[in-house]
Structure 1
Amino acid sequence: VSSSRCNSKSILHCCSGMKRLVLLVALASANAFLAPPSLRPAPGRRAGCLVNGGVWTRMVLADDVNVDFDALKKNRKILQTLAKKNGVKANLKTEEMVRLLRIKAAEPEGKNHGNAHKEQGSPQITSDHSSAFNTVLVHGAGKTVDKLGSVNMPIYQTSTFRFESAEHGAECFAGESDGYIYSRINNPTVQELEEAVAALEHGYKGIATSSGMGAVNVVYMALLAAGKHAVCHKTVYGPSRSLLENTMAKNFGVEASFVDTCDLQVVRDSIKPNTALVYLETPANPTVAISDIGAICELAHAVGALVCVDNTFCSPYLQTPLTLGADVVLHSLTKSISGHADVVGGMIVARDEAVYKRLRPMMVTLGACMDPNQAFLVRRGMKTLGLRMQAAQDNAIKVAEFLESHPKVAWVRYPGLESHPQHELGQRIMKGPGAMISFGVKGGLEGGRALLNAVELCVLAVSLGGVETLIQHPASMTHAKLSPEARLQGDVTDDLVRLSVGIEDAGEIIADLDQALARV
C-alpha cells in the first residue's frame, strides 16, 4: 500500500501532518505490523517499531500513513492479521481486538520501567489517549473536572446532591442522566479517581471501594453464586483466600479449588463446566510466584469463566492484566497506588461494560463505597506512583542481590533474579520486577523472629508498597488465620519473610538487614 496514493476509503489513508498511530498493511500477506509513534529521524519521515520475537527493531515509515479504526472494524481478516503480528489474540471479538490495538498504538517506543528487564525493550505503559503514564497520574483521564477550575478535584463532602428539577431527579434514577444522586452511588471526587485508575489499567470503568477487601467482596459476590465454582491461586492474600474458602463456600454454597496457577496443566485440570471465576494474584502474596495471565485467560474463557487479577503487587506501572486478557483487575489502593500508608481503599476495573454492570450494583448494594476524603488522599498520593515505584524497584534489585549472597539466607524469591522460577515469564508479562521480595532465613521460625526483632530502619509492620521499607512474617501475621495445612499447601513456610522495599537509600536498607541478620 503506497502511503502517497492511498484511497480515502481504505483502512490506511493519507492524513498529512497527523501525529498518531502509524500502520502499514500488506493486505494479502503476513507482513502487517503496528508501529507506535517515535522520534522523527528526518522531516517528512517517522520512525516506528516492529515486534519481532520480543525485540523492538527500528523501521522508517511515511509520516502520512495513519489508521482508520472504524474502517478496520469492517474487515476482520485484516484486523486479525494485525492482531497476530502485534501480540493481540486474533480470536477475540472485533471491538476487543480494536481496543487492544488502540492501546498498542499509544505505547511510545523503547521506554522501559525495569532495569532488570532492559533487554526486553518493553514499552512504557500509556493511556488510550496517548498520554504518558506519569501524565495520566498527574492530570487524570480528563473526563470529570471541577466546574470552578480547581487544579485538584475538591473533596465533595456531601451525602446527597440537589436535583435541578423533579424531572432531572427521575432521569438520574432511571440512568438517563449522568447527574449525581447519593455518595454511596457516585461522587465527583471518587469518580475522578475511578476514571484515572481505569485509564492506567486500560479498562472500561473503575469502581472505588472502602478497602481492598471491599473490592474482593464485591467481585466474589457479583461473579459467584450457589453451585458455581472458582479456581484460585493457592497463595493469595490471606483474607482473600479465607473469604472464599470459608464464608463463600460454607455460607453461600460456592465451590472453590486452590491450586498452583503457575502450572497451566493444573489450571486446565481444575476448571470445571460450572467454573465461573478464576482468581489470580500475580505476583502472589507472599511467595511472589508468577502466573501466566494470558494463557490462563484462554483456558477460563473456553468454558465461559471470567478472570480476575489482583494487581496490587505490581500496580499498573508494571503490569496491566486487562491487556493480557483478564476481565477484571482489582487493587488495594492502600498499597503502591496511594503509597504513603495514610489511607485505606480499594479499586475494581472492568474490561467491558457487561462486566462493569454486574460489579457496580453489587458495590452499591453492599455499601462498600469509598468516602470522598479517602479518594482525595489516594488521588494525591497516586500522582507520584511512577516515581515511587521506579525508586523502590531500583532499591529492590540491589537488596535482592545482597540477600541472595548472604550466608544466613536460605533462599530468595524476586522476579528480577534469574533464580526465580518464573523469571522469564515475569520478563514477558511485567514491565519490571517490582519491589516485593520474599526470602527464607536459616534457623526457620526462630531465625525469622530474631531478624524481625533486630531491624532498626526497616519497619516491622504489615502492608506494602509505601515509601518506607516494611518487613513482616506472613505465617504469624497476614496469613495466620489460614490453617497450618492451607499455609503449607500455599508455600507459606515458617521461615518465609516478606520485604516491601521502600525508597530510602539502598545502602541504608542493606546495612540494616545486614546487622539484623548478624543477630540470627
Structure 2
Amino acid sequence: MDKHPSAIKPESWLVSAGRSSEPGAPLNVPLVPASNFILGTERGYSRDDATPTWEALEEVVGGLEAGRALAFASGMAAIAAVFDQLSAGAVVALPDDCYQGVAGLAAAGAERGRWTVQRLALDDTAGWIRACATADLIWLESPSNPLLAVADLEAICAAPRKPGAIVAVDNTFATPLNQQPLEFGATVSLQSATKFIGGHSDLLAGVATTRDDALYHAIRTSRELNGATPGTLEAWLAVRGARTLAIRLQRAQETAMVLAERLEAHPLVERVRYPGLPSHPTHATARRVLRGFGSIISFELRGGAEFADAVCRGVGLVRHATSVGAVESTMERRAAIPGQTHLPPSLLRLSVGIEDAEDLWADLDQAIRAAAP
C-alpha cells in the first residue's frame, strides 16, 4: 500500500490496504500457512515474528484506528493481553454494562487478588473522570453491550490520569468507521474482528491498536508468550471480510434506524435502546462522538422472559443466534446468558444485517404478534 491512510478516505483504505504493489505480486493478500521461515531475515518463527497474512490484517485495522495494530486469536485474547500489563494490586475501572467475557476476566483476577475492580455507569462522565486519577486501567466499551450506552470518550480520554494508566476502549460495536478512540486520546483500542471486521460469522480474531510504542511492544510480548496468535486462515478471512465493511455497515445501520423507529412505536414493545433514537439516554453524546449509530438494537418486550424466548423461536429471516456484526441478522435474549442477570428479562439484542429492511420488519412483527401472551 503506497498511500498513508490519512491521504485517502477510510472506504478506500479498506479496499487497498495490505496489498502489495510489487510487479508480479498477487493482487489479493496471500494466505501464508507457515509456522517457520528460512533464516536470514528478521522473520524466523511465526509466533514471534508474525506472517505476511497477519500483517495485512494489522495494516488494515491499524490504518483505520490511526495506530499500530496487533492481531490476536480472538477478541478476548486481545483483551487479556491488555489486562496482562497490570501490576499486582492494580485498580480496574469497568462499566456496569459490558461484555460478559470482560466482566468475567476482571472478576476472576479480582478473586485471585491480582487487582481490584470498580464498576461505574458508562454515562457517569464525572465518575469516569475521577477514576482516571486513581485507576491503573480505565476500561470503556462504547456503545456498551448490550444496553448500548455511549461514553463521552472526548471528555474521559482528555481527563488527567494516573501516571502509567491505560485507557482502553472496546470499539467493536462502533467499528473504526464510526469512532476512533485513539484520536480522542485513548491508549489502546480493541476490536473483536470476529464481528464487523470479518462480517461473515466464520472466524475468531481480535485486534489491539495503540500509538504508544512501549505498550505496543509489551502487548506483542504478551501475545508471543501466551501463544495468542491468530490462525492464518482466520487472518486471511478477516482481511477479505474487511474489504466490504464500509458498505455493509452503511446498509446495516440505515436499516437499524428504520427498525428501531418501528419497534419504538410497536404496541408490544416496552422500550427500545438505540443510540440513534432521541429517546436514548446518551443520544446527545452519541451524536457528538459517533459518526454513525451502528447496527445493534436492544429492545424490551411488554412481557417476561417466556414471551421474549417465544419471539426468538418465532423469527425466520432473523436467526436466533449469538454474536453480532455479520451480514445476517441475529437476535438473542441476553439475560439468558450466565453473568447477565442485571439485564431486563425480556431484553432482546438484535444485530441488523444487510437483508431488505421491509423483509426484516415483517419477520420481527409477525414473531412478536404471534408470541404475544
TM over 0.5: yes
Please give the alpha-carbon distance, in whole angstroms, between the structure 2 residues aligned to 1:380 and 1:493: 37
Query: 1:309: which partner in 2?
Result: 169
Q: Does 1:236 align with 2:87?
A: no
Please give the alpha-carbon distance, in whole angstroms, between the structure 2 residues aligned to 1:244 and 1:148: 49
| 2:7 aligned partner, one-letter code | S
Query: 1:183: which partner in 2?
Result: 46
Q: Which runs of structure 2 are paired with 1:233-382 in the superposition (5 Å)?
A: 233-246=95-108, 248-271=109-132, 273=134, 275-299=135-159, 301=161, 303-382=163-242
Please give the alpha-carbon distance, in whole angstroms, between the structure 1 residues aligned to 2:38 and 2:113: 39
* CA deviation profile, 1:226-267 (whole Å, cap 9, x unmatched): 111010111111011111112x11225211111113112222
Measured after TM superposition, the shift of residue 127 of structure 1 is: 6.1
* CA deviation profile, 1:167-219 (whole Å, cap 9, x unmatched): x5xxxxxxxxxx2121112111101110111000111x111000111111111
Query: 1:196: which partner in 2?
Result: 60
Structure showing greater Rg: 1
Query: 1:152: which partner in 2?
Result: 28
SS at match of 2:256: helix
Gaps of 5+ in 2: none
Aligned counterpart in structure 1 of residue 12 of structure 2, from 135, 145, 152: 135
Measured after TM superposition, the shift of residue 156 of structure 1 is: 1.1
* CA deviation profile, 1:398-449 (whole Å, cap 9, x unmatched): 0001100001000001111100111111011100111010110111212211
Say if 2:169 and 2:190, in contact at 8 Å, map to a contact too.
yes
Query: 1:162: which partner in 2?
Result: 38
Q: Which moved more, 1:299-308 or 1:388-397?
A: 299-308
Aligned length: 368
Say if 2:131 and 2:138, in contact at 8 Å, map to a contact too.
no
Q: Does 1:506 align with 2:357?
A: yes
Measured after TM superposition, the shift of residue 148 of structure 1 is: 4.8
Residues 270, 326 of structure 1: alpha-carbon distance in 2 compared, 3 angstrom cutoff: closer
| 2:169 aligned partner, one-letter code | V
Please give the alpha-carbon distance, in whole angstroms, between the structure 2 residues aligned to 1:326 and 1:496: 31
| 1:265 aligned partner, one-letter code | A
Q: Does 1:388 align with 2:248?
A: yes
| 2:228 aligned partner, one-letter code | A
Measured after TM superposition, the shift of residue 151 of structure 1 is: 0.5
Q: Moved runs in structure 1, 4+ residues, more than 3 A?
A: 126-129, 144-148, 268-273
| 2:180 aligned partner, one-letter code | T
| 2:308 aligned partner, one-letter code | G
Residues 146, 258 of structure 1: alpha-carbon distance in 2 compared, 3 angstrom cutoff: farther
SS at match of 2:229: coil
Please give the alpha-carbon distance, in whole angstroms, between the structure 1 residues aligned to 2:198 and 2:128: 33
Please give the alpha-carbon distance, in whole angstroms, between the structure 1 residues aligned to 2:321 and 2:300: 18
Query: 2:366: which partner in 1?
Result: 515
Q: Which runs of structure 2 are paired with 1:205-224 in the superposition (5 Å)?
A: 205-222=68-85, 224=86
Measured after TM superposition, the shift of residue 453 of structure 1 is: 1.4
Identity of aligned pairs, percent? 37
Residues 127, 250 of structure 1: alpha-carbon distance in 2 compared, 3 angstrom cutoff: farther
Measured after TM superposition, the shift of residue 155 of structure 1 is: 1.1
Measured after TM superposition, the shift of residue 132 of structure 1 is: 1.3
Say if 1:326 and 1:351, in contact at 8 Å, map to a contact too.
no
Gaps of 5+ in 1: 1-125, 169-178
Normalization by structure 2: what TM-score?
Answer: 0.94
Measured after TM superposition, the shift of residue 302 of structure 1 is: 5.2
Query: 2:89: which partner in 1?
Result: 227
Q: Which has the higher contact order (CA 8 A, sep 6+)?
A: 2
| 2:282 aligned partner, one-letter code | Q
Normalization by structure 1: what TM-score?
Answer: 0.68
Please give the alpha-carbon distance, in whole angstroms, between the structure 2 residues aligned to 1:160 and 1:141: 21
Please give the alpha-carbon distance, in whole angstroms, between the structure 2 residues aligned to 1:243 and 1:329: 18
